[in-house]
Structure 1
Amino acid sequence: MNRVYLGLGSNIEPLKHCVQAIAAIKAVSSEVRCSAAYQSDAVGFDGPRFVNLVVEMETELSLEQVATFCRELEFTLGRPALAEKNQNRTIDIDILLFNDLISNNPSIPRTDIHQFAFVLLPMYELAPNLVIPGTVTSISQLWEQRQHQLLVQQPITPIQLDC
């Protein structure tokens, strides 16, 4: 069984698209846990506020299968095939961690986990003692080191989202 952490984000009908993504993830998982959902301003461009959360799943799918599943789910939920970075989106699904794997294609663990409050706080909620593969640093250590700076730079607001 593989333990996978996915970052979900949406700023086009975000509650609808996040709930639909979670339902699809549950269909390919034996166990799913969700962090709280957070609303934040778009980063890198002007757009509607995003809703973000992290989903922890256990699945028999391989990394390649999870990557394909996530990409196909993004398309199913209306993300254009040629979507660019820093634009509005129905759903964005990033593989943050896949077991203890370190990979370059896709980039696992995601190198930007520590850069965004809307990723690091949800990871802290789900797996505070998890050590990021390739480091000796736990999620809780990262959160303790970065929380003040991140929350000043990127204020986030918890919102209700049923998982």
Structure 2
Amino acid sequence: MKTIIALGSNCNQEENISKAQTLLKQRFKNVKFSDTQWTEPIGITSDKFLNCIGTLETEMSLTQVVQCLKEIEQTMGDSHENHQKGKVLIDIDLAQYGEKIVKEIIWL
């Protein structure tokens, strides 16, 4: 299934995006990433975000992909509590799974 994900970080941005990409490459051998892009925060007060898009093909179900992305976020130490404080170590959102739009990418 063709899948599109969006990565973002506003804390140690380059390091966290790079680490997330490495972890994603371990789980999804065919994942490809766009160039990174700096964006202003939307809806929170924080440093700028560094973002990128990832595309991949997977046989996993939508639920399995979401779980995998959440596991990577947790492995990197990200949490809901950090997000509430405006600190986003890494955010990996499933944007599209096949033809299904799962979440709009607001920074594009």
1:57 deviation in Å?
A: 1.3
Superposition misfits of 4+ residues, deviation over 6 angstroms: none
Equivalent position of 1:16 in the other structure: 15
Alignment of 1:32-71 (within 5 A): 32-71=31-70
1:80 deviation in Å?
A: 1.7
Deviations 1:8-44 (CA, angstroms, capped at 9, x unpaired):
0001111111111111111122311111110112111
Report if the CA contact (8 A) 1:6-1:94 is conserved: yes
Q: TM-score, normalised by structure 2?
A: 0.87
Partner Cα separation in structure 2 for residue 16 and residue 83 of structure 1: 17
Alignment of 1:4-153 (within 5 A): 4-84=3-83, 87-101=86-100, 108-110=101-103, 112-113=104-105, 115-117=106-108
Shift in alpha-carbon separation, 1:56–1:41, aligned structure 2, 3 A? same
1:60 deviation in Å?
A: 2.3
Partner Cα separation in structure 2 for residue 21 and residue 65 of structure 1: 18
2:95 alignment partner, SS class: strand
Question: Percent of counterpart pairs with the same letter?
Answer: 26
Provide structure 1 residue ranges, at least 5 long, that are not aligned to the other structure: 102-107, 118-163
Q: Which has the larger radius of gyration?
A: 1
Equivalent position of 1:143 in the other structure: none
1:83 deviation in Å?
A: 4.6
Shift in alpha-carbon separation, 1:8–1:116, aligned structure 2, 3 A? same
1:82 deviation in Å?
A: 4.0
Equivalent position of 1:141 in the other structure: none
The letter of the residue matching 1:44 is G
* Aligned Cα root-mean-square deviation (Å): 1.8
Flag the structure with more relative contact order, 1 or 2, with Cα contacts below 8 A and sequence separation at least 6: 2
Partner Cα separation in structure 2 for residue 47 and residue 6 of structure 1: 22
Q: Give aligned pairs, total.
A: 108
Q: TM-score, normalised by structure 1?
A: 0.60
